[in-house]
């Protein structure tokens, strides 16, 4: 599965800010996943980089 998600530069900036300022680790993981999807990373590459299951990446992507 490889999909492209269109996320504006402003949203990417907002995600960076959210990631830096949250204390919730689950939310931070979601932010990282969405940020990388918005930067055209594949599900497999995100899973490898974040040391999470591909299904977790897919679940996060469904929230977009």
22/35 Cα distance (integer angstroms): 15
36/26 Cα distance (integer angstroms): 16
pLDDT at 2 over 50: no
CA distances from 14 to 20, 22, 47, 51, 55 (A): 10, 12, 22, 24, 25
Q: What is the pLDDT of residue 39?
A: 93
19 contacts 31 by C-beta, under 8 angstroms: yes
pLDDT digits (tens, 9 = 90+) for 7-47: 899 999 999 999 999 999 999 999 999 999 999 999 999 99
For the chain, the structural domain boundaries read 9-61
Q: What is the pLDDT of residue 64?
A: 74
pLDDT at 4 over 80: no
């Amino acid at each position: 599965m490889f999909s492209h998600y269109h996320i504006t530069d402003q949203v990417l900036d907002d995600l960076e800010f959210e990631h830096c300022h949250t204390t919730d680790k689950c939310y931070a993981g979601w932010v990282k996943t969405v940020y990388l999807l918005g930067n055209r990373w594949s599900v497999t590459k995100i899973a490898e980089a974040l040391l999470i299951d591909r299904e977790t990446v897919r679940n996060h992507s469904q929230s977009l």
